[in-house]
Amino acid sequence: MIERERNLNIVLEKSKKDQQYFANTIFIFLKGLKEALQKLEKSVDPLAYSLIVSKIFHALQNHLDISLFSNSPESYGTFLLTATDQELFSVSNNITLQKYEELEKFKQLGEVFNQSRPKKCALISSLFGTTWTPTFQALKENGWDFLFCIHGDIEETETYAVLTTKEINLGKIEFSSLLSDIIFMAVVTNHPVLINGESYHGAGWDAMDAVAVYLIHSVVINTTQSIRIKNGNNLTYLLYDGLKPIIKNCSKIKESLSEFYLDYLSAIDRIIFNSNDTGFGDFLENAYGLRKPRLHFMRYSVFSRNPKKKLGFGKDNDEFHVVCITTCLSKDMDGARDLAPDLIRSFLNQKIHFHYYACESQTVVSNFIQSVPLQDRKFFHVHSINRNQEELVRDLSQYHIGINPSDYLPFGKVHCYLNDRRYQDGMTKYWESTYPTSALVYAAAGLPVILPTGMYDCRKFLPSVIPFTFSEHYHIRELLSKIDLKEYSQKASELKTSISIECHINQLESFLYEGIK
């Protein structure tokens, strides 16, 4: 009986200490958020500030129980700006009471994970991107184990880009939130922790959303760093884009974007650039003074060992089959592909077969087909999406050419309306150094790739690229007829094994534990 009481007292004492630890952590986060908002208020005009704050707290409302102390996400920002430390402590205690079981679970989860053998890696993300699959699969085949901290159960998705929860069959999955992420990351210091650079908000090509992304993530990482028992040097951004490309609302931000971008990058220990070549990292060192351990590791795909037979070029050797896995039928997308529907109609009008694998709503697809002249519709082929990379690559191998229909011109708004030279130059370097995921998938399928001319680094990496400016679609048949497509196809076929994930995974493995203390 005495022993049982002693054990109960130990449990209660531990629970009390953990509650205090969680409340202190939440207080540090809220205090950091308050300071970041004060900086934001001084950096942008009142209207932009109000809009960005609204975006921030709409993003956070699923991670913090805002209803405890505020009627709406917008009023939360007003509360934080004027809140005293005592009021923040009170809020922190209330949130702790609501989230104690979740936070305690992830503290224990982190402690167990931290003590385990090498070749362990955790991923913090709102979702699991399809194009990560080959990388994590290759690591798993090399003996790695994973814990995926995902923000919610994704039961269905109509897009190619995101896996459902059931499709993530590469490791253990736990459903976390911002606060439990912080607790988990603070405990884990012996193994690499990858953090998706858009875990808590998506930029969506909007300058104000980009500020929200940078601000939230910098506060999360700074909070984590401040409560760690030791610095493991293991917190690593996995950046889909080296910076958030922006097209919309550039004039509302002016010169403040670089400040928040630098805060975002400075907080982290290490960076994996998942789509930008080394020139982009060099730019960050020279322009921003950012010197972090970094790896430029692209979203490599897997080549098919059993490719499909190529479609024929027709009896007159003039039939072309172009394939596209990039969503581009809607004019209401990101701005970089607004003209893509016109491009596709131009291809069809020139009797070029266009095979479309990206997923959009049936309404968008139907509206596009209705916009195509009746005699051209037979050249437009809609295919079901396939989130299995190996199966997709095999299916694509039957076509003649892949295309990425992005347009650099909308990014000119950054240079016209943004008064921030470093970010303006950063956008130029981003475009020059980017490796579109679709280009690597096409290359793995052994296809030549039609790619925007300005993507210089990807063009150097893939000798099978057919450089293309947007206005050339008016005479695309003539362009394809003039080049030696068979020679391009031969180059692409020879290249496909060397750009497969298998040839590059050791580079990532070496980096993941490099420098961890």
* Pick from 111, 139, 152, 132: nearest CA to 18: 111
- Report yes or no on 102 lying in a domain: yes
Lowest-pLDDT range of 60-64, 225-229, 391-395, 402-406: 60-64
Is there a single domain that holds both residue 286 and residue 139?
yes
Is there a single domain that holds both residue 283 and residue 346?
no
DSSP assignment of 389-401, as one string?
HHHHHHHHTTSSE
- Report yes or no on 199 lying in a domain: yes
Lowest-pLDDT range of 89-103, 375-389, 481-495: 481-495
- Report yes or no on 173 lying in a domain: yes
Structure tokens belonging to residue 496:
């496909």
DSSP assignment of 214-227, as one string?
HHHHHHHHHHHHHH
Is there a single domain that holds both residue 181 and residue 277?
yes
- Report yes or no on 513 lying in a domain: no
pLDDT in tens, 109-161: 999 999 978 899 999 999 999 999 999 999 999 999 999 999 988 887 777 78
Counting the structural domains of the chain, the total is 2
- Report yes or no on 517 lying in a domain: no
- Report yes or no on 506 lying in a domain: no
CA distance 120 to 113: 8
Question: Tokens 């470093």, residue?
Answer: 422
Is there a single domain that holds both residue 289 and residue 348?
no
Is there a single domain that holds both residue 325 and residue 292?
no
Domain that holds residue 361: 321-499
Q: Is the pLDDT of residue 339 over 60?
A: yes
Task: Yes or no: say if 389 and 319 are a contact pair by the CB < 8 Å rule.
Answer: no
Q: Which of 153-162, 260-269, 398-407, 409-418 has the highest mean pLDDT?
A: 260-269
Task: Give 374's contacts (C-beta < 8 A, 6+ positions apart).
Answer: none
